[in-house]
Each structure stands twice: as C-alpha cells, then as structure tokens.
Amino acid sequence: MNTSMVVFGATGDLAHRLLYPALARLDGLERLDDLMIAATGLEKWSSDRFVGSVAESVAGLGLGPTEQRRFLERFTYYQGDLSPEAVAGLEPSLADSNVYYLALPPGLFPKAARGIADSGITRTGEHRLVVEKPFGTSGESAALLEAELHEFWAEEQIFRIDHFLGKETVQNLSVLRFANRVIEPLLCATHVDQVQITVAETLGVEDRYRYYDGIGAMRDMIQNHLMQLFCLAAMDAPAAWDAEILRDHKVEVLRSVRPDAQVAGWAARGQYSAGVIDGVDVPSYLEEPGIEPNSTTETFAAVRLQVDNWRWQGVPFYLRSGKRLGSKLSEIAYRFREPPTQLFAETSLATAEPNWLVLRLNDPEGIDLTVQTKAPGLEMVAEPSRLHADYGSGEETVSAYEQLLLDILEGDHTPFLRCDEVAAAWRLLDPVLEAWRSGRAESYPSGSDGPTSADSILLDGHRWRPIG
Ligand code: BG6
C-alpha cells in the first residue's frame, strides 16, 4: 500500500524544528519506503523556496547528497488554507493510506479536522489524523476539542502525540518492568516506599511567552508528560502488548487516584526569580520579554498522587517539573523500603541508604539500581554501588519523534493517547488549577531545586531527590 503524509502548517517552526529532521533521519534509516509528503501552508512560497527551507532544517544531520536529494524529492508544496476547497486541491498527492499531520496551533485543530473531512478527500482509502499537545487547557475545553474532532474522525483514526512516549527510556520502563522476572514483583507497596518523577529544566520560558504565560507548568508538563510517566510507572502488567489493553491500564491508574479535597495538601507551585545557572546570571520570569509584569503563571508545579488500589496502597507518587532549576534532570525513581531486620545494626551499614531504582530520561539515558555493598577491607563498612544498564550511548538511539512517526505510519496506537486518558488526567488536575486561580506561586531562585513549599506535600520522612 502506498502512503502519503500531508503536513498542515508546513512552513512553521514545529514542522521545521522537529518533524522534517525526524523524517529525514527515518529516511536515512530506509524506513520511509515510498512515502510522499504534501506540505501545505499559508505562505506564497515557490516549491524551490519551500524545499530550500526543508534542506536548511535537515542540514545538520550529515545526510549524503544522494540521501538528501531523495528526501527532498518526497515533498510537494501547496499554498493554501484549511478550507475544504483548498484541502481538496491536495488530492493529486494522496495515496491509499494518508496521514494528516497538524503542525498547527491547537486552536486550529477543529477547523483542520473539518476542512479535511468536508473536502471529500477521505471518501476512499485510509486516513489518520495527528495532533499534538496541548489537548485543551481544562477538562471542559479538552472535552469540547474532542467533540469537535470526533464529529469528523473516529477515535481509531486519531493519533495524539505526547513526545515523552517516544523517548527511549520511557519505552524502556515497560521493557524493564515486564520483560524481567526480577523487577516487576518488587514494584508494589510491600517493597516500594515512594516514587519520584522529576522533569527539571534549566531553560526558562525562552521565546515561547505567547504560549506559556497563562498556561504554566501544570498544564504544559504535569497534565500530559508527567501523568503519562506516572501511568507507565504505576500500571499493572497488560495481558498483551496491545494498544487498547495498554491504554485501558493507564486509564485505570488515573481513575484509582483519589485526591484530597484540600489541594494545598498535595499540590505546590512556584515561579522563578532571578538567579545563576551554569555561572550565568538569568532574569526572573516576570522580567522575561513578553511576560505580563504581574503574571501569576507557575513555572514549577508538584503534586503528590496516592493510587488507591491493592498494589500501591499507601505509596505516594511525587511528580514535579519546573523551569530554570539547578540542572536538567528527567527521571523516574522508585525508592525501596528498608530491609525488615537490621542485621548490621552494630556497623556503619545501619545508616545505609535504602535502594533506589532510577530510570534517567536525559543524557546519558540509562537505568541504575543503587545497592549497598561492603567496601573492601577488614571492616564492615557499606558503600553504595550502582548496577547500571547503559543503552543510551549507542549509535542506534533515535529521537522520540522518529519513533512516534514510524508508529503513526505503521498505524500502531500504542504510544499515543486515547481521549479518555486525556480526560482522566484533567479530572485529577482541574481542582488544582481552579484553586490556583487565586493567590500567587511562591518564588524560587533560578538555579535552585524549586520552591520550599514543594516540601510541604511530602509525607513524613520523605525528601525530594536533589536536582542541582
Ligand atoms: C514540551 C513543553 O512539551 O516539552 C516544553 O511544552 C518543555 O515546555 C518540553 O521544555 C520538554 O521536552 P524535552 O524532550 O526537551 O524534555
């Protein structure tokens, strides 16, 4: 079956920064077969000018001249809007199987979904629609968006991208859990005392102020990326590696969380003030270009989620994400309980740290299990050692987008969000966002580990893992 991809918003930043480089790398790996790409945008560009812009965005990938030519020849540029008439003009580029990639601001998704359906081009053949987060800014707006999409598209045709699900370590989380007899039985309340999921960035809001101000860390990161990591870290083993079963299990996790009515007890927020990152002075959020001087947008958010089921009874899952923190760190960390008896109480082993199983999502990716071992010598002295799985430094690593694009072309829904997952995540966080409509986020210095109020959501005896 021949395949085509239609890129809406083809002259925009998302397409150039993420989509074209990922497609070019897949082409380099001989994974695009006969794919033709119809690129459409509002700009009155000639085909040469458009292809030149794609060539620039893939220039750093080191493609040879033949590979580069083959990649660029896949594109045809159409100038046009989202009206059914303009979309109908794409017909000559369509194939038996077609992927419509909306590299557009989310406000335009419904218009594009309708434009494609009303153009008549989907009457025959196979058709898939690809949309990217954010999926709404609240449960209500997400439901409205879904209703608009579903008016024209069936759920099985929609691929909702959360790029974290294409990350190597996120996929490895499931393999580590479900392909190893030695790990999975330990991941439950009997052995695990807490789970911490952190996505910390050193970057500030950069030039994304139009999108970010008023959105903030809870909607930008926690509602989607961290909630997905949480689901994958907490869910039960699916009976088969099947997109529907897997997503049923993720929804079940979200539905098992029973948050307290008192939001302040389980959610915290912060906003960065001026500080120093990597030896460089950086301004406060309120001094960033384009930000409202009295903005209350949070640049850090943290929540404690309690999964009310047999497996995780009493084990808190702590999720936090923030900008301008002390270092770039993304990890999922399970902390195990102390051994049941203190055999070595009379030795320095008595103060040994409990074990941590840590999956690191950013460079260098990998998995570490910290264990206590005896230091060589005559004394019973403990030292922490790492059992390390190193899979992140090889040449074979692919970007999240490459992985996800290939899955879309192959029609595999496994790493994409189903609409009920999105809704269930909003249902949990809507009360927090509602409570945060008043008051202010606590300020935290850029380069720190975040606001001190993040500590207030921890249960007794728990501490955040260091970021800086
Ligand atoms: C995006 C957020 O979805 O993810 C950004 O909008 C954030 O604010 C980014 O910086 C982080 O992704 P990654 O892959 O760089 O960790």
Q: What is the DSSP string of 345-387?
A: TTSGGGGPPPPEEEEE-SSSPEEEEEEEEEPSSSS--EEEEEE
Binding site membership of 201 for ligand 1 (Cβ less than 6 Å): yes
d(CA 151, CA 347): 68
Whole-number percent of the chain with pLDDT over 70: 97
Which residue owns the Cα nearest ligand 1 atom 8?
220
User: Which of 201, 361, 403 should be mutated for ligand 1, with most atoms under 8 A from CB?
Assistant: 201
pLDDT grade for 349, boundaries at 50, 70 and 90: low
Q: Which of the residue ranges 313-317, 337-341, 437-441 would you say has the lowest mean pLDDT?
A: 337-341
Q: In this predicted structure, what is the pLDDT of residue 398?
A: 82
Identity at 206, one-letter amino acid code: E
The DSSP annotation for 378-398 comes to SS--EEEEEEEE--SSSTT--
Binding site membership of 220 for ligand 1 (Cβ less than 6 Å): yes
d(CA 271, CA 448): 11
Closest to 354 in 3D by CA, of 384, 386, 316, 388: 384
How is residue 104 written in tokens?
Answer: 């557009």
* Contact status, residue 112 vs residue 8, Cβ threshold 8 Å: yes
- CA 457 to chain centroid, in Å, comes to 23
From 163, 225, 413, 462, active-site residue:
225
Q: In this predicted structure, what is the pLDDT of residue 29?
A: 92
Q: In this predicted structure, what is the pLDDT of residue 358?
A: 97
Token pair 């070595």 is found at: 344
For the segment 285-300, what is each residue's pLDDT rounded down to a tens digit? 999 999 999 999 999 9
**What are the two backbone dihedrals, phi and then psi, of residue 281, each rounded to the nearest 5 degrees?**
-70, 135
How much distance in Å is there from the Cα of 420 to the middle of ligand 1? Answer: 23
Is the pLDDT assigned to residue 343 strictly greater than 80?
no
| Ligand 1 atom closest to 330 (CA) | 16
Q: In this predicted structure, what is the pLDDT of residue 381?
A: 78
How much distance in Å is there from the Cα of 222 to the middle of ligand 1? Answer: 11
For the segment 252-277, what is each residue's pLDDT rounded down to a tens digit? 999 999 988 889 899 999 999 999 99
* pTM attached to this predicted model: 0.95
3-state secondary structure at position 147:
helix
User: Which of 160, 161, 220, 298 should be mutated for ligand 1, with most atoms under 8 A from CB?
Assistant: 220
Mean pLDDT of 398-411: 94
Q: Which residues of 13-37 are buried (b: 16+ CB within 10 A; e: fewer)?
A: ebbbebbbbbbbbbbbeebbeebbb
Q: Which of the residue ranges 220-234, 353-367, 454-468 would you say has the lowest mean pLDDT?
A: 353-367
The DSSP annotation for 164-188 comes to GGGSHHHHHHHHHHHS-TTTGGGSS
Q: In this predicted structure, what is the pLDDT of residue 416?
A: 98
Q: In this predicted structure, what is the pLDDT of residue 347?
A: 66
pLDDT grade for 340, boundaries at 50, 70 and 90: confident
Q: Quick one: which H or E segment has residue 160?
A: strand 158-161
d(CA 260, CA 258): 7
d(CA 178, CA 249): 14
Q: In this predicted structure, what is the pLDDT of residue 374?
A: 86
d(CA 417, CA 414): 8
Closest to 246 in 3D by CA, of 259, 236, 254: 236
Mean pLDDT of 133-158: 96
Identity at 358, one-letter amino acid code: V
How much distance in Å is there from the Cα of 26 to the middle of ligand 1? Answer: 22
User: Which of 14, 164, 321 should be mutated for ligand 1, with most atoms under 8 A from CB?
Assistant: 164
How is residue 30 written in tokens?
Answer: 């001989």
Closest to 324 in 3D by CA, of 204, 444, 453: 204
| Ligand 1 atom closest to 400 (CA) | 14
Q: In this predicted structure, what is the pLDDT of residue 235?
A: 98
pLDDT grade for 394, boundaries at 50, 70 and 90: low
How much distance in Å is there from the Cα of 189 to the middle of ligand 1? Answer: 31
Q: In this predicted structure, what is the pLDDT of residue 351?
A: 64
3-state secondary structure at position 407:
helix
Mean pLDDT of 401-410: 96
Is the pLDDT assigned to residue 421 strictly greater than 70?
yes
Q: In this predicted structure, what is the pLDDT of residue 396?
A: 64
The DSSP annotation for 199-236 comes to EE-S--STT-HHHHTTTHHIIIIIIIIIHHHHHHHHPP
| Ligand 1 atom closest to 220 (CA) | 6
Query: Is 16 an active-site residue?
Result: no
Is the pLDDT assigned to residue 306 strictly greater than 90?
yes
Which residue owns the Cα nearest ligand 1 atom 14?
164
How much distance in Å is there from the Cα of 203 to the middle of ligand 1? Answer: 10
Q: Which of the residue ranges 189-203, 339-353, 409-423 would you say has the lowest mean pLDDT?
A: 339-353
- Beta pairing class for 275-277 and 280-282: antiparallel
How is residue 413 written in tokens?
Answer: 């829904």
Q: In this predicted structure, what is the pLDDT of residue 295?
A: 97
All residues at 6 or more sequence positions from 450 whose CB lies less than 8 Å from its CB, including other chains: 200, 270, 300, 302, 320, 322, 325, 444, 464, 467
Q: In this predicted structure, what is the pLDDT of residue 346?
A: 67
Q: In this predicted structure, what is the pLDDT of residue 215?
A: 96
Q: In this predicted structure, what is the pLDDT of residue 268?
A: 98
Binding site membership of 331 for ligand 1 (Cβ less than 6 Å): no
Whole-number percent of the chain with pLDDT over 90: 87
Closest to 133 in 3D by CA, of 438, 400, 331: 400
Which 8-state DSSP code applies to residue 257? Answer: B
* Contact status, residue 446 vs residue 273, Cβ threshold 8 Å: yes
Mean per-residue pLDDT of the chain: 94
